Amino acid sequence: TPSSRQGGISPPEPRRILCGTSLFGGNINEDERRGNETFPVQTRYNLGQVRHMSLETPFPLVNHEIVGHPSLKIHRLKLPSHLLPLLDTVVRGCEMHASTLPTGWQTDLYSLTKQDIALREIPHIYNAAKPVISYIKKAACLVYGVTSGIKMDRNQPHVLKYNYNCKNGKGHTGVELHHDKCDFTVNLMLSHSNEYSGGGTYFPSAESVVRLEFGEFLLHPGGLVHGGVNITQGNRMLLVMFVDKA
């Protein structure tokens, strides 16, 4: 649902649209506790196997892989190493900002994910993240063949936090199957793998769960159904962008 905040930060309508079905047709936490082997195996295609893509480009794509069948247009990439230190700056800035809010991370920016902070609400962090945002936008234009550029609303990018409350076994640990109301969705991993357990992005059409490492990001069409697998320990943070062709 749209935010009730003043200042017009939230878009006029939701960007994540619930699909009304569970991630795996069962209890996600129970599946996760059985171990990763209960989840579909991620299928990867080497970029060189896809005819319409080319490595002959002046713009550097790092560790580019295609997840599932190429027709699904799910891309896994990584930021260049010189941009990685900026991610810890983003995390620290968002945590500090959340500590000043009456409800902390429990914002009303989006109804499905519940714990989101728009970077534009923290101007100095938004400015610090601009090189990361610029790189991702260029990568998205390249892999999807967009020549007109891309645009975002004022909520983009936003940082999403999943956390597991060890005291009561609850918290905001994942998100149901849904699709996004945008042309393309970006998920950039801000957390290190030793900071949480479980998690990942599940794509039913790819029969795959993608678990990103720190500094990796995922590009996929917004209309592609996906969900956030529950974490079972710690905190998992993502920088998310809903983008549209200009």
Instruction: List pLDDT tens digits, range 25-58.
Output: 444 344 333 333 344 444 444 443 333 333 344 5
Q: What is the secondary structure of 167-200 as a DSSP string?
A: TTTBSS--EEEEEESSSEEEEEE-S-GGGEEE--
Could you say which residues of the chain have pLDDT below 70?
A: 1-14, 16-58, 166-170
| pLDDT at site 112 | 83
Terminus-to-terminus CA distance in the chain, angstroms? 25
Distance CA 192, CA 88 (A): 10
- The neighbour count for residue 113, using CB atoms within 10 Å, is 21
Residue 76 three-state SS: strand
For the stretch 30-62, what's the b/e string if a residue is b when 16 or more beta carbons lie within 10 angstroms of its beta carbon?
A: ebbeeeeeebeebeeeebeeeeebeeeeeeebe
The DSSP bridge partners found for residue 201 are 210, 228
| pLDDT at site 28 | 38
- CA nearest to 199, candidates 186, 184, 179, 214: 214
DSSP state of 207: T
| pLDDT at site 109 | 87
Distance CA 222, CA 179 (A): 6
| pLDDT at site 168 | 60
| pLDDT at site 90 | 97
Lookup result for tokens 């959340």: 98
Distance CA 159, CA 187 (A): 9
Give yes or no for a contact between 187 and 238, defined as CB atoms under 8 angstroms apart: yes
| pLDDT at site 126 | 97
